[in-house]
Amino acid sequence: MDTVAHEAWRGYRTIRLGLAEADYERFMSDREFAKRGLDKGYREHPELFPEQWDKGDVLYGFTPQSRKQGLRCRRIRLRATRAVFTVAPSFVMPYMSARVEQVEKALFLMRFHVPCWAIAHVFRRDAMYAKKFDSEFDSGKDMTHALDISKARRPLQKQRRINVDFPDWMIESLDREASRLGVTRQSIIKVWLAERLEQTASNKRSKS
């Protein structure tokens, strides 16, 4: 399980753990399962954990249940510094504003520099909303709460399912990168394929 530690508000620190939603209940209810997951993450990527994690840690209760997602998070306390960290699952956005899968489509569009007004249009918002959305996004605010995900559409992107076989080493590499970024394996594959296709198209245009 890949993790990343960063400063959070109110003096807390958060470790965003690459945890599948299917494993969430067990992670919360089974102390040994939770410890194994954290230990595995530290063995694989110690540089992503807080300093002095190797001096030991203890499970330190839970956060209150979030109003938006109805989820709680485990807390960990370092033995050496007594600093308390919140362990947040990677399938939810910061501040429990949404599930990652709910905002994945909007974030995917942002990666390709789609303007905010266009994203607002895709998610069925009016022009005034788009202007406000653009302004607040440019000021650095987290706008995921403002997207009506239930009405999302993908213009000019009709989906078709295909089956592709990958060797084990490639799947493991994809999963590590997806877990590090807190997104799904499918998202990583889509983004990397899109980047390669875009690069190929650009090279063809430059030669013509």
| Contacting residues for 119 by C-beta, under 8 A, at least 6 apart | 106, 109, 110, 133, 147
C-alpha 187/C-alpha 185 separation (Å) is 5
Per-residue pLDDT of the chain (208 residues; tens, 9 = 90+): 444 443 433 444 888 888 888 899 999 999 999 999 999 878 877 777 788 888 999 999 999 998 888 899 999 999 999 999 999 888 887 778 778 776 777 767 777 777 766 766 666 555 455 556 666 666 766 665 555 555 556 555 667 788 888 899 999 998 888 888 777 888 888 888 888 888 888 777 777 6
Domain coordinates in residue numbering, the chain: 3-95, 98-207
pTM for the model: 0.49
Q: Alpha carbon 159 to chain centroid distance?
A: 22
C-beta separation of 86 from 73 below 8 A? yes
